């Protein structure tokens, strides 16, 4: 992870609704994503529903329970009576398509307790992250009733991209994705606003109020699209390998261990000599590998290592362009390390992930760059099991070198350092 787990991070509550009609996202993947986006997670609340609630996504009872839990927390911890949230009246009854009230499916045993850190004083300090894809109406209604920031998986992923975007193009792609998202929310908000005013003498005043904002969004979106077209033309002419340093890019699925490897490489080198790594950007570090010439003269090898956004299963089509553009800086790599979690229980999934990684590498035009498969988390596997998997991978990809490591206990780190230095020396970088 790029961020260590500390109290200066934003505070998040994760909510997951399990429902037959929804894609079942992995909660561990979500925890990792939230941490990568810079959140401390304080509660995880799940709810099983037969059908989602059309107004709040969650069951109505759960919405109230969470509200009461928050009220309780802020009342008890801050005695801040003035800031107490005023609850909006809820619709009297809501039934699913079978005529049953939604509450029927809720687990009434659940208690919602909050234990936020000292730094949380207001509801606005908390973000609720749904491990689902929310409709704009759901998000709007929940934001109103809880009086705090509510985002879904897609928006969280966008926040991660924002942290990783380095090139002008990727920043524009991400801004475009966010503007699209926000335009949809504004449209919904406007619709709701006008609906509430119906029957009164309102005569389109509401729409007029929103129009300048919408116009500004439309204008900005057009400008970005035009600029992206120009950049895309120019990109075809762009030369790679601009930097005077040897660049190593880390690529792979989320949770594979990319950031841990980067941190461990940087930190282990730091132990051998001072000032041996520098943070160049939130995701790039300069690492000096110790190396000695034959006559024993110190010949430290400077390398820039760049972390990248992890691939995520079932990414929303709205985010694909933004995602690919954050990876484009990898085009400037001289070596790519494909990080794979070799400890994953299902080997078929591992092979699928390797295949998808190559597809994505083709899309971002980095297939020409030398690559090494880095099989991480070997501390989780028996030697026998590991060897079987390594043998199979070698059979499928005989032309790609591979190295087995554990970023946790630094097993294999000498080997990985050697590989990096070898490639660097072959390329004659200094
Ligand atoms: N057992 C074990 N766990 C590891 C190892 N390397 C990393 N992890 C754990 O795997 C989890 C994910 O590691 P990260 O470094 O955040 O993975 P990442 O590839 O950067 O993930 P994204 O940033 O989401 O793309 C963390 O909980 C790490 O502690 C390892 O060698 N062994
Ligand atoms: Mg990471």
The confidence band for 223, taking pLDDT boundaries of 50, 70 and 90, is very high
Look at 377 and 78; give whichever has higher pLDDT.
377
- Which pLDDT score is estimated for 86? 45
Q: Which residues of 288-302 are buried (b: 16+ CB within 10 A; e: fewer)?
A: bbeeeeeeeeeeebb
Share of the chain above pLDDT 90, in %: 40
| Max avg pLDDT among 11-15, 68-72, 182-186, 272-276 | 11-15
The predicted pLDDT at position 405 comes to: 97
What does the alpha-carbon distance between residue 345 and residue 322 come to, in Å, rounded to a whole number? 30
The answer to whether domain 10-161 and domain 246-426 are alike in fold is yes
Q: What is the pLDDT of residues 299-315, one digit of tens each?
A: 778 898 988 888 887 77
Range in 26-30, 309-313, 332-336, 347-351 the model is least confident about: 309-313
Tokens of 223: 């400008």
Task: Please give the Cα distance from 122 to 55 (Å, whole number).
Answer: 25
284 CA from centroid of ligand 2 (Å): 12
Average pLDDT over all residues of the chain: 81
What pLDDT score was predicted for residue 208?
62
Atom of ligand 1 nearest to the CA of 407: 31
Pocket test for ligand 1, best of 164, 257, 259 (most atoms within 8 A of CB): 257
CB-based neighbours (< 5 A) of ligand 2, an ion: 258-259
Least confidently predicted of 14-18, 277-281, 292-296, 393-397: 277-281
Q: What is the distance in A from the centroid of ligand 1 to the CA of 258? A: 7
Q: Which stretches of 206-326 are assigned E, i.e. beta strand?
A: 246-252, 277-281, 284-289, 301-306
Q: With 0-12 CB in 10 A as exposed, 13-18 as middle and 19+ as buried, what is 143? A: middle
Q: Comparing 297 with 326, which gets the higher pLDDT?
A: 326
Ligand 1 pocket mutation pick from 407, 409, 416 by most atoms within 8 angstroms of CB: 407
CB neighbour burial string for 202-227, b if at least 16 within 10 angstroms, e if fewer: eeeebeeeeeeeeeeeeeeeeebeee
Q: Options 3.30.360.10, 3.30.70.2860, 3.40.50.11060, 3.30.460.10; which CATH number does 10-161 get?
A: 3.40.50.11060
CA distances to 53, 63, 69, 267, 300 from 45, rounded to whole Å, are 16, 11, 12, 36, 50
Any residues with Cβ below 6 Å from ligand 1, and which? 1, 32, 36, 252, 254-260, 310, 376-377, 379-380, 406-408
275 has a pLDDT exceeding 80 = no
Q: Can you tell me which atom of ligand 1 is nearest the CA of 307?
A: 20
Question: Measured in angstroms, how far is the CA atom of residue 162 from the centroid of ligand 2?
Answer: 14
pLDDT value at 91 more than 70: no
Give the residue with greater pLDDT, 390 vs 273: 390
Cα gap 156→151, rounded to integer Å: 7
Instruction: Express each pLDDT in 153-176 by its tens digit.
Output: 999 999 988 888 877 888 898 999
1 vs 181, residue with greater confidence: 181
| Distance between CA atoms of residues 240 and 335, nearest Å | 12
Q: Quick one: pLDDT band at residue 207, thresholds 50, 70, 90?
A: low
Ligand 1 centroid distance, CA of 45 (Å)? 24
CATH for 246-426, options being 3.30.540.10, 3.40.50.300, 2.40.50.100, 3.20.80.10: 3.40.50.300
Return the residue whose CA atom lies nearest to atom 16 of ligand 1. 1
Which atom of ligand 1 lies nearest, measured to the CA of 310? 25
| pLDDT confidence band for 88 (50 / 70 / 90) | very low
For the chain, the domains span: 10-161, 165-235, 246-426
Burial class (CB in 10 A: 0-12, 13-18, 19+), 82: exposed
Residue whose CA lies nearest to ligand 1 atom number 22:
254
**Which of the two residues, 27 and 213, has the higher pLDDT score?**
27
The residue-averaged pLDDT of 346-373 equals 93
81 pLDDT exceeds 50? no
């Amino acid at each position: 992870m790029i961020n260590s787990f500390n109290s200066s991070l934003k505070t998040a509550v994760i909510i997951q609704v399990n429902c037959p009609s929804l894609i079942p996202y992995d909660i561990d993947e979500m925890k990792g994503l939230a941490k990568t986006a810079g959140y401390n997670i304080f509660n995880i609340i799940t709810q099983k529903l037969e059908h989602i609630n059309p107004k709040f996504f969650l069951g109505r009872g759960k919405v109230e329970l969470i509200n009461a839990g928050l009220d309780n927390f802020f009342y008890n911890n801050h005695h801040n009576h003035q800031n107490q949230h005023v609850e909006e009246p809820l619709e009297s009854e809501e039934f699913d398509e079978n005529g049953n009230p939604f509450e029927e499916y809720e687990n009434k045993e659940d208690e919602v307790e909050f234990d936020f850190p000292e730094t949380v004083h207001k509801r606005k300090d908390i973000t609720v992250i749904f491990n689902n894809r929310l409709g704009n109406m759901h998000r709007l209604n929940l934001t109103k009733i809880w009086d705090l920031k509510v985002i879904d998986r897609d928006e969280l992923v966008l926040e991660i991209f924002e942290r990783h975007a380095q090139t002008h193009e990727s920043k524009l792609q991400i801004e475009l994705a966010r503007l699209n998202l926000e335009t949809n929310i504004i449209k919904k908000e406007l619709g709701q606003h006008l609906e509430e005013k119906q029957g009164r003498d309102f005569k389109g005043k509401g729409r007029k109020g929103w129009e300048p904002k919408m116009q500004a969004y439309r204008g900005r979106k057009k400008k970005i699209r035009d600029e992206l077209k120009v950049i895309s033309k120019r990109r075809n002419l762009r030369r790679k390998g601009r930097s005077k340093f040897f660049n190593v890019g880390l690529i792979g699925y989320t949770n594979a261990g990319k950031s841990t490897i980067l941190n461990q490489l940087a930190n282990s080198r730091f132990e051998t000599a001072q000032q041996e790594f520098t943070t160049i950007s939130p995701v790039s570090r300069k690492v000096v590998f110790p190396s000695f010439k034959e006559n024993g003269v110190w010949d430290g090898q400077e390398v820039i290592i760049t972390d990248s956004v992890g691939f995520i299963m079932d990414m929303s089509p709205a985010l694909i362009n933004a995602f690919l553009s954050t990876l484009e800086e990898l085009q400037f790599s001289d070596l790519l390390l494909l990080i794979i979690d070799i400890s994953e229980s299902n080997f078929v999934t591992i092979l699928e992930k390797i295949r998808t990684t190559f597809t994505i590498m083709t899309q971002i035009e980095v297939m020409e760059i030398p690559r090494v498969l880095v099989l991480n988390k070997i501390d989780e596997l028996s030697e026998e099991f590991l060897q079987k998997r390594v043998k199979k991978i070698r059979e499928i990809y005989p032309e790609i070198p591979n190295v087995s490591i554990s970023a946790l206990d630094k097993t294999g780190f000498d080997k990985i350092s050697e590989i990096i230095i070898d490639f660097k020396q072959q390329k004659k970088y200094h």
